[in-house]
Chain A
Amino acid sequence: MGDSLRQVLARVGFSVFVALAAAFFALPMLWLVFAPFDPTPTLAARPAGPTLANFRDVFDNPLVLTSLRNSLLLALYAMVLVVAAATLAAYALSRVRLPGRDLLLYVLLLFSSVVSGTAAMVPLFLLVFELGLINTYLGVTLVLTGGLLPAAIFILKDFTDTTPTSYEESARVFGASPFQILKDVVVPLVRPGMAVIAVWSIVNVWGNFLIPFILLRDPDLAPASVVTYSFYTEGGQADLRLLSAFSLLYSVPVVVMYLFVQRRYGFRFYGGIKR
């Protein structure tokens, strides 16, 4: 009797906790669900409409489409650079024993979680300035890539470590060059890992605010993260119709990509930062 009462109480406690937690996470997002379809959105989250007129506004605004294209370009540049450099490095690291390799990777990983953000704001700005790359995507891409690479190598090394070397050995016997072996033997085997870091880089760059905010001056070059921010800070009253519809358009791609990879690869997605 006492036992079953305790079980019931535990059950109720569990349900209350989970319901509260779900509400805590869901409530702030409601606005993003309702406002984009509301003909006269306010700051309140309430169902109204629905209308697609807000999206028509968005597509009529040249700044908006440019910024989404800019975000896409930056994400693709950084993704290509990260995937290429990380694949080469991860493969080399898992096939050749270097003294202190694991320590080095670990230190770089910690380093990247500190430096790539804000602690090196001044020198990153100056470095890009001195290189004459302020207001260029090359500058932003290089800075973002440097910050993403340690974790990308870490994630990918999980994959290259577990592929068998026997194919590579036979390819070697037949006289294939190291690069051919990488391209024709290794890459097909670690393609899932490359997909993971590709998506991971895109998600990171797509959402990054600080680096383009500091390094790009020209509004035409600004990616969606900076443009969203300027929508609600510059020039008096924010245009909520534009802001809400644009926020949704800007958010959906990363959420879809992320959930897809999460479903497909599970927690391995964070393999690189798990330690």
Chain B
Amino acid sequence: MAFTAFSANAKVVEQAPKKRGWIALLLLAPGIAYMLLFFVAPFIQLAITSLQAPAEGGGIGQYVAALQFQNYWVALQEYWPHLVRSFVYAIIGTIVGLLISYPLAYLIGVRVRHRPMLQGILLILVIAPFFISFLLRTLAWKSILPDSFIGTDGSVIFGLVYNFIPFMVLPMFASLQALDLRLVEAGTDLYASPITVFRKVTLPLSMPGIVSGTLLSFIPMSGDYVNASREFLGGTGTAMIGNVIESNFLQTQNYPMAAALSILLMAIILIVVATYVRRSGAEDLL
């Protein structure tokens, strides 16, 4: 008999139907125009370039329109080690970054929440490096780190982690800052040890921050060409796919190859990211 008084309240509020019309289209127009101009058009250009063939009797950098799909095959055959290396670096860099960023974000977002001054200072320290060009900071590391370390896998991953940590910390911080600590208390009240509360409450509720933080660093890490270049922290055996694309575009002027590699990189990242997001159950982010 209990609680009959509430049965009438069991209705779920229905979402208002979405309004469509010319006002909505008008409001979307600037965004659509921007995307057409700066994403769709260059992408089509890139796709066309990736299928070009060398001009008959032309010099270096002379290509004509064609449908040379084997460009992709050649690119894969020639540069697959660089692709693999890029993703291995990016995955290791993301994992190491996560191990550093999450505790840092937890410290700033949860532990010092009741001390806004300290929280502000810590946040500024996370963002402060952005005030200096990342090229300069990466060069600085080149002179700080021992010469024997420069040019190894380790030094490149170090550079990637260092440069992309703020992109990880900030979304994780935003998630953890919004975490309702009363839920943590409720967990301990319901017989969960601190570790279990973390596993069952804190971690799932900060998952959106973890997913967006890792994506925001994994994607640029896989395409990065600064850290791995020989002028910065890389060496002869550390070239990533970004370095290959850069040298094909700017040095050997093999535009179809560079374009094909770019599209391959983009496709692989898309597949990896889609799988990751599906797996982590964070579709809402996309």
On whether the two chains bind one another, the answer is no
Residues of chain B whose beta carbon lies under 8 Å from any beta carbon of chain A: none
